[in-house]
């Protein structure tokens, strides 16, 4: 499971000109799923994101988590995070899970994030052509891969 986590002042997801999710201060999480991902990946990644200290404290030091600042989150599925670009100029998405595998894992991840944050998490619509609008705060962008825990 691979995630791009962005600290945002605001973010929204629009599908067919209808806003389906919107938050103020919080996290926009772009989530890529591969076939080997499982419940352990979901739990580890959700906990890591919920407790990631990337929000400023009173001294302007990144010491607070999204929970500490009572922030919100939006999780958007993004198969292109598993793009392989080693050969040629057209990325291969062979590692990205097909919908029959990815959708249940995505839904479980969203549920786990809701448990970890203690609140509803916004989402996009799986497989839809989504327009994601965000104001990246900082900018702060963190890439996390459950298969490469750095």
Are 49 and 71 in contact by the 8 Å Cβ rule? The answer is no
Residues designated catalytic: 80
Residue found under tokens 């999480």: 29
The pLDDT assigned to 32 comes to 97
The pLDDT assigned to 149 comes to 83
User: Exposed/middle/buried for 4, CB within 10 Å: 0-12, 13-18, 19+?
Assistant: middle
Ordered by where they begin, the domains of the chain are 2-145 (3.50.80.10)
pLDDT in tens, 22-42: 999 999 999 999 999 999 999
Picking from 52, 51, 43, 50, the residue whose alpha carbon sits closest to that of residue 112 is 43
User: Exposed/middle/buried for 134, CB within 10 Å: 0-12, 13-18, 19+?
Assistant: middle
Residues (pLDDT < 50) of the chain are none
Residue positions counted in the chain: 150
């Amino acid at each position: 499971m691979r995630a791009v986590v962005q600290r945002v002042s605001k973010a929204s997801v629009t599908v067919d000109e209808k806003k389906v999710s919107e938050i103020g201060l919080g996290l926009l999480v772009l989530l890529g799923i591969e076939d080997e991902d499982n419940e352990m990946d979901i739990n580890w990644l959700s906990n890591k994101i919920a407790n990631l200290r990337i929000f400023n404290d009173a001294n302007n030091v990144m010491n607070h988590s999204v929970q500490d600042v009572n922030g919100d989150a939006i999780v958007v599925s993004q198969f292109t995070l598993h793009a392989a670009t080693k050969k040629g100029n057209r990325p291969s998405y062979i590692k990205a899970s097909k919908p029959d595998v990815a959708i249940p894992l995505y839904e479980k991840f969203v549920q786990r994030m809701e448990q970890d944050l203690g609140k509803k998490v916004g989402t996009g619509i799986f497989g839809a052509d989504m327009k994601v609008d965000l104001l990246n705060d900082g900018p702060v962008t963190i890439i996390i891969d459950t298969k490469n825990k750095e």
